[in-house]
Amino acid sequence: MKTTKVTLNPERVGKAWAIAHALAHPLRLRILEFIDSMGSTNVNRIYRALDIEQSITSQHLRILRDAGIVVNEKDGKYVHYAINYERVENAAMATSAFAEVDRAYTMVH
């Protein structure tokens, strides 16, 4: 039997998990779709347009921000959110690559 050494970088795995976690929630995807439609927007517009509580919106934005999916810029008393499209595209490519590996593995086993 062949043995393969598995080497994982915990910091990179943690970052990948944070990104996947941020993108794997239906409400966060709705928030991203709304931000995308606006280009840039603040939390007040998001929660009013999506009919969700301000505190819940802020919690989801924090998760998206911590994962680098959205960026924010303070403008007076408002914080404007925009999508980090490079991060989203990289996540989409990684997900596609992982799905291909998983599909190949499933076909063999």
Q: What pTM was estimated for this model as a whole? A: 0.82
Within a domain: 21: yes
Ranked by mean pLDDT, the top range of 16-20, 35-39, 75-79, 105-109 is 35-39
Within a domain: 3: no
**What domain range is 104 assigned to?**
16-108
Within a domain: 10: no
Within a domain: 83: yes
Within a domain: 9: no
Within a domain: 56: yes
User: Residue 61 belongs to a domain with what CATH number?
Assistant: 1.10.10.10
Mean per-residue pLDDT over the chain, rounded: 89
Within a domain: 46: yes
Predicted confidence at residue 25, as pLDDT, reads 96
Q: What value, to the nearest 5°, has the Cα angle with vertex 103 and ends 99 and 109? A: 140
Within a domain: 89: yes
pLDDT in tens, 55-107: 999 999 999 999 999 999 998 999 999 999 999 999 988 888 777 765 666 66
Say how many domains are in the chain. Answer: 1
